[in-house]
């Protein structure tokens, strides 16, 4: 049974990687919506996920971001690299193993001024156990894979 599960994870990872390098969903007119419509700037300013308004949005790097305010959209447009989630919004802990699995908008961490998403609390805790090593591994896989 374990071999079947491992095979399913590998197949899922291959399918996800074939879909592009961003963890996006489709919602209304936005076919490549990042962070499930949550405001990326709010993670920094409010310290929590805040749902974005479909009327206040911007496109960057082929995906759409929504914002809770025009001020947040303007901040994003001034420095989109600062506010964009790392690893295309995929789970940072998954990237430690070169597996682009979905990140949960409610589980995140800002590390050195960058936004990292996690698939769940357990993934975040495991990542934090050796954060420096895991960042190095994930960065390496993200850049090379």
pLDDT digits (tens, 9 = 90+) for 36-78: 999 999 999 999 999 999 999 999 999 999 999 999 999 999 9
Q: Residue 5's pLDDT band (boundaries 50, 70, 90)?
A: low
For residues 125 and 119, give the distance between their C-alpha atoms in angstroms, rounded to a whole number.
Answer: 11
DSSP structure string for 50-80: -BPEEEEEEEETTEEEEESSHHHHHHHHH-H
Q: What is the structure's pLDDT at 3?
A: 57
Strand pairing class (30-34; 114-118): unpaired
φ/ψ region of 20 (left if φ > 0, alpha if ψ in -120 to 50, else beta) reads left
Residue 28 has pLDDT above 80, yes or no: yes
Task: Classify each residue of 14-31 as buried b or exposed e, where b means 16 or more C-beta atoms within 10 Å of its C-beta.
Answer: eebeeeebbbbeeeeebe
Tens of pLDDT, residues 76-116: 999 999 999 999 999 999 999 999 988 899 999 999 999 99
Residue 47 · residue 76 · CB < 8 Å: no
Q: What is the pLDDT of residues 32-42, one digit of tens each?
A: 999 999 999 99
pTM: 0.84
Q: What is the pLDDT of residue 2?
A: 52
Q: Say if residue 144's pLDDT is above 60.
A: yes
Give CA–CA dist 93/124, Å, rounded: 7
């Amino acid at each position: 049974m374990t071999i079947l599960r491992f095979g399913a994870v590998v197949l899922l990872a291959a399918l996800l990687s074939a879909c592009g390098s961003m963890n996006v969903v489709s919602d209304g007119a936005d076919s490549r919506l990042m962070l499930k419509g949550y405001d990326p700037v709010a993670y920094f300013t409010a310290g929590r996920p805040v749902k974005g308004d479909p009327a206040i949005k911007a496109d960057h790097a082929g995906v759409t971001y929504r914002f809770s305010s025009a001020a947040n959209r303007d901040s994003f447009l001034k420095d989109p690299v600062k506010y964009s989630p790392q690893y295309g919004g995929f789970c940072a802990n998954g990237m430690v193993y070169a597996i682009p699995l979905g990140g949960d908008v409610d589980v995140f961490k800002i590390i050195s001024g960058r936004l990292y998403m996690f698939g769940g609390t357990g993934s975040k805790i495991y990542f934090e156990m050796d954060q420096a090593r895991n960042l190095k591994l994930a960065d390496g896989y993200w850049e090379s894979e």
